[in-house]
Structure 1
Amino acid sequence: MVAWQPIGISMGVYDMCARYLKERKQFGAPLAAFQINQQKLTRMLGNIQAMTLVGWRLCKLYEEGKMTPGHASLGKSWITSMARETAALGRELLGGNGILADFLVAKAFCDLEPIYTYEGTYDINSLVTGREITGFASFKPASVSQRSRL
């Protein structure tokens, strides 16, 4: 299932950032001791736990034969969106090092972007879920007679 890839990437970013913040010192203290950094780590971990639960729920629905295209689309779009946020938080935590290949966060961004896009972009997956919720296919083109003549 596509949704598990961004979860694993997010876990790697979190682990690397947590290690980095404990090892790197600024103003005589580890970066992990600063409140804003702890808040960002907490948010990253919360995102990962939520993504994992959504992925687990999708697997259960699939096993039970109850997963619909709307479920799969919602899971993929939401998980990839949260993974991008998690990588962005990791980049912020590392400061300038967050854009260097040595620290893997920049690589994670590059790895997440195609996952966010392939098998339907975030927007298309949102429309698939919206169709399932409302019963209306908003991405279906209007018939010729309904189109504006402007």
Structure 2
Amino acid sequence: MKRSYWSESVTKRLEKKILKERGTLDAECPTCGTTFKMVNLQHKYCSHICRPSSNSKMGKWTILHRDNFRCIYCGRAPWNTENLIMHVDHIVPQCEGGDSRPHNLVTSCSECNSTKRNIQLKNKKEIIKIVEQRNIETEINPKITIKF
């Protein structure tokens, strides 16, 4: 394996030197691509919104909260239906190339989620419009990946 002369440690030393001299360093956020002022070498994201959550349940919580814990397909919610279990569902299934970003995730009750499986939705465009609007209203970064 060919080794690069310009090692990661050299890059880190240069970044440290620039930070010491200037006080900040221009960096690009890996999530949204925005250029921001890095104030230390641990500062990798432009904001807490772009920083991936280390707690996977927090990611699911974001989608459940955005949808007000209500099933997008049938409208039921845990407070008005006894023993209802809520899931986060992919609009476009992962097996068909769907990703785990907020634009492709919805809250679904266990019954609708198990009935739907990998069947393509007839009203998918309508659901996607609703999800896009909710992402805007709740200021969810559409480029962040939700961890499961």
With the length of structure 1 as denominator, give the TM-score of the two structures: 0.23
Higher RCO by CA contacts (8 Å cutoff, separation 6 or greater): 1
Who wins on radius of gyration, i.e. which is larger? 2
Which structure shows the bigger proportion of residues in helix conformation?
Answer: 1
With the length of structure 2 as denominator, give the TM-score of the two structures: 0.23
Which structure shows the bigger proportion of residues in strand conformation?
Answer: 2
